[in-house]
């Protein structure tokens, strides 16, 4: 068993930061809070790099490290050891979470500088990183679920950070409640696996499955996998539990970047990839994952078309991109799904933090209809250039952006994998076009054209600090170069560049990798189809970017007319209203539960049964006391007379009975 002895520092350092900043939130100077908040995550990032390097030096067949921290619980044959497990998959996730998380902490120093809750904010942010690292490094489902619930708690605390505003407080509660619905499914799936296999240890589960020591019942595995995926639909905001994520924009913008880019929402994708050896056994569960993923991707993209809040466009974009990741892991292309998770962390964190710089610059304005021309504004050039780089990446600009390589790989495997389907590929390709269109609508309305900024705001802008635009620039750079470690096979052969990312993750997914469908099984056919998909992948961003630029630079009047007339106006209004999903949930779920709570559980059970019973007991007791107190006079002669009378009555009863 390979061990390092210091992996525990990755989660514990942010935890120490959370404790310190929580205790001294209103006592310590801001510079100390900043150093502790950022420094502890920076140390965790350093340890993750060190562990990653140590991992890379191990043979591929034994490329894992397990550090025993302590035994959490033990009862009979059942025990849960708190082991921190580093393998190629958790190694990538640790670098993404701590690396991008560190940049977001640095950015927060400038963004939250004037907030009175500065120390509390960094405490919550550190706690978030602690919870996410526990999630990804735990070697058993119980520890993973502990981190899973931890990020849920932190999302509630951070989304509702400005809880004095009722709307923001409600958004935090919504995120918490919706995720609890999904978590019920996760708990059920975990319980099934423990009942059937007798362990919650992920390596032990994998060993049992691979060895065949326990007979595999396909139905049980399918139920367990779908139950776990229900948890993922909540945590990773997929249909039908996605509605919390757009409302999560109520929190500070760095929180949006942390939740939507590198941490919480990727937990569901990571969980499916981590449990690949089980999903591999259930074609139905994998079909559910891929089907929900692609439908969520296109659904969220259609909503993003018409949103006017800069952060909500990005929020629905995140929901859509998570759908692509689930398509990847759902068709058995686990490497492609995790690859897109990584590149998405770069370009989406850049976009969210870029939007934060815009909002900061405009004193809190988030409506893109009141922006425009920001690329020419003083202090915004670096933000604009990084934004364009990230937008090109999410649009999939060929060869020069990370998003092209990762999204193209998912689309290719959706078509070619044994678990893929033509309809998944087609819907995914259409969604990719939609993505480029709405992202360039957002870019044009924010940075191009005539300024629509309020005059007073334009004359007194709040320029982003170096800690803000510097971080955005770094993420913009990663959005460009981040994809070259996972280039397509045929392109790598031509350029003599291996797919490093695929080779790195091969030990984790080797037993679960899907082959190519029989219809295209020969190597020549596979190669030809991959080239064809690659060419289509070149056309998709060109069409999307071209349409986005053309429509919103020179055809805004046409778009305004389409929004007012005919069938397009119906779509526009429905998309703007988010297809009325929240209203439907309110009518079908929320209001019936509220009525049930008020008229049955409160007025019926609580008031008319529980309260009535308690009050009746109290009134009977009071009445009895009132009667008895007339007897208790304190007069000894009266007590003696009462005893004599009582004794006389008893004697009379006895004599009567005897006669």
pLDDT digit string, tens, across residues 107-135? 999 999 889 999 999 999 999 999 999 99
Q: What is the pTM of this model?
A: 0.91
Q: How far apart, in whole angstroms, are the C-alpha atoms of residue 46 and residue 76?
A: 39
In the predicted model, is pLDDT for residue 323 greater than 70? yes
Please list the residues that pair with 78 across neighbouring strands. Answer: 75
In the predicted model, is pLDDT for residue 534 greater than 90? no
In the predicted model, is pLDDT for residue 417 greater than 70? yes
Percent of the chain at pLDDT exceeding 90: 63
**Kindly report the CA angle at 450 between 444 and 451, in degrees rounded to 5?**
95
pLDDT band at 604 (very low <50, low <70, confident <90, very high): confident
- The position carrying tokens 């019936």 is 592
**Structure-model confidence comparison of residues 448 and 71, the more confident one:** 448
Region 591-612: mean pLDDT is: 88
Which of 218-227, 545-554, 626-635 is predicted most confidently? 218-227
Strands 78-86 and 65-75: antiparallel
For residue 651, count other CB atoms closer than 10 A to its CB: 10
**Structure-model confidence comparison of residues 638 and 259, the more confident one:** 259
Helix (H, G, I), strand (E, B) or coil at 78: strand
Q: How far apart, in whole angstroms, are the C-alpha atoms of residue 618 and residue 636?
A: 30
Q: How far apart, in whole angstroms, are the C-alpha atoms of residue 535 and residue 424?
A: 18
47-57 tens-digit pLDDT: 999 999 999 99
73-101 tens-digit pLDDT: 777 777 777 889 999 999 999 999 999 99
Q: How far apart, in whole angstroms, are the C-alpha atoms of residue 554 and residue 387?
A: 22
| Tokens representing residue 112 in the block | 């939250």
Burial class (CB in 10 A: 0-12, 13-18, 19+), 486: buried
DSSP string, 184-210: HHHHHHHHHHHHHHS--BHHHHHHHHH
In the predicted model, is pLDDT for residue 151 greater than 70? yes
Q: How far apart, in whole angstroms, are the C-alpha atoms of residue 489 and residue 26?
A: 55
| Tokens representing residue 443 in the block | 């870019």
Region 271-283: mean pLDDT is: 95
Please list the residues that pair with 75 across neighbouring strands. Answer: 78
Q: What is the per-residue pLDDT for 523?
A: 66
**Kindly report the CA angle at 318 between 550 and 576, in degrees rounded to 5?**
60
Per the prediction, the chain carries an average pLDDT of: 90
Q: What is the per-residue pLDDT for 659?
A: 67
| Tokens representing residue 501 in the block | 């990312």
Q: What is the per-residue pLDDT for 123?
A: 96
367-403 tens-digit pLDDT: 999 998 999 888 899 999 999 999 999 999 888 889 9
CB distance 348 to 427 below 8 Å: no
Please list the residues that pair with 73 across neighbouring strands. Answer: 80
- The one-character DSSP state at 259 is I
Give alpha helix (H) positions in 510-611: 523-554, 556-564, 566-576, 581-585, 591-595
In the predicted model, is pLDDT for residue 427 greater than 90? yes
């Amino acid at each position: 068993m390979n061990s390092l002895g210091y992996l525990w520092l990755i989660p514990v350092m942010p935890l120490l930061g959370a404790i310190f900043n929580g205790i001294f939130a209103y006592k310590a100077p801001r510079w100390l809070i900043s150093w502790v908040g950022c420094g502890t995550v920076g140390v965790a990032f350093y340890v993750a790099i060190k562990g990653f390097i140590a991992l890379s030096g191990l043979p591929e067949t034994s490329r894992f490290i397990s550090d025993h921290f302590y035994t959490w619980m033990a009862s009979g044959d059942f025990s849960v050891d708190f082991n921190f497990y580093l393998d190629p998959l958790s190694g990538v996730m640790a670098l993404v979470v701590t690396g991008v998380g560190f940049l977001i902490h640095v950015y927060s120093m400038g963004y939250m500088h004037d907030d009175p809750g500065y120390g509390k904010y960094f405490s919550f942010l550190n706690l978030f990183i602690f919870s996410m690292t526990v999630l990804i490094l735990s070697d058993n489902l119980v520890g993973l679920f502990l981190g899973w619930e931890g990020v849920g708690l932190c999302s509630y605390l951070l989304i509702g950070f400005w809880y004095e505003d009722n709307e923001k407080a409600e958004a935090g509660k919504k995120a918490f409640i919706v995720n609890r619905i999904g978590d019920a499914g996760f708990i059920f799936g975990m319980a099934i696996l423990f009942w059937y296999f007798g362990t919650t240890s992920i390596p032990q589960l994998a060993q049992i499955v691979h060895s065949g020591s326990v007979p595999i019942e396909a139905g049980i595995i399918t139920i367990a996998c779908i139950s776990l995926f229900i948890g993922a639909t909540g945590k990773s905001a997929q249909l039908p539990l996605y509605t919390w994520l757009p409302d999560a924009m109520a929190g500070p913008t760095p929180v949006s970047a942390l939740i939507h880019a590198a941490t919480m929402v990727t937990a569901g994708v990571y969980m499916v990839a981590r449990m690949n050896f089980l999903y591999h056994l259930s074609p139905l569960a994998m079909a559910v994952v891929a089907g929900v993923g692609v439908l969520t991707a296109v659904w969220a993209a259609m909503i993003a078309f018409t949103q006017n809040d800069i952060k909500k466009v990005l929020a629905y974009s995140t929901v859509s991109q998570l759908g692509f990741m689930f398509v990847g892991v759902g068709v058995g292309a686990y490497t492609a799904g995790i690859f897109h998770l990584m590149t998405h962390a770069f370009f989406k964190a850049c976009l969210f933090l870029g939007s934060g710089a815009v909002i900061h610059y405009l004193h809190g304005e988030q409506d893109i209809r009141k922006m425009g021309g920001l690329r020419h504004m003083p202090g915004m050039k670096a933000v604009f250039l990084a934004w364009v780089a990230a937008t090109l990446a999410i649009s999939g600009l060929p060869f020069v952006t990370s998003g092209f390589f990762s999204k193209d790989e998912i689309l290719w495997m959706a078509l070619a994998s044994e678990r893929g389907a033509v309809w998944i590929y087609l819907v995914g390709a259409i969604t990719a076009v939609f993505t480029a269109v709405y992202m360039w609508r957002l870019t044009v309305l924010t940075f191009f054209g005539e300024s629509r900024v309020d005059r007073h705001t334009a004359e007194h802008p709040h320029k982003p600090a170096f800690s803000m635009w510097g971080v955005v620039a770094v993420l913009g750079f990663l959005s460009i170069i981040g994809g070259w470690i996972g280039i397509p096979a045929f392109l790598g052969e031509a350029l003599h560049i291996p797919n490093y990312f695929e080779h790195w993750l091969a030990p984790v997914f080797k037993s679960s990798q899907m082959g190519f469908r029989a219809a295209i099984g020969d190597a020549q056919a596979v190669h030809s189809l991959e080239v064809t998909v690659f060419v289509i992948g070149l056309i998709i961003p060109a069409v999307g970017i071209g349409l986005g630029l053309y429509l919103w630079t020179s055809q805004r009047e046409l778009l305004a007319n389409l929004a007012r007339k005919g069938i397009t106006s119906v779509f526009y209004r429905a998309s703007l209203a988010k297809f009325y999903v929240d209203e439907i949930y309110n009518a079908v779920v929320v209001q019936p539960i509220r009525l049930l709570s008020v008229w049955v559980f409160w007025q019926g059970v609580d008031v008319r049964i529980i309260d009535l019973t308690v009050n009746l007991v109290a009134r009977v007791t009071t009445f009895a006391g009132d009667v008895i107190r007339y007897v208790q006079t304190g007069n000894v002669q009266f007590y003696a007379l009462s005893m004599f009378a009582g004794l006389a009555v008893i004697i009379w009863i006895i004599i009567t009975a005897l006669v």
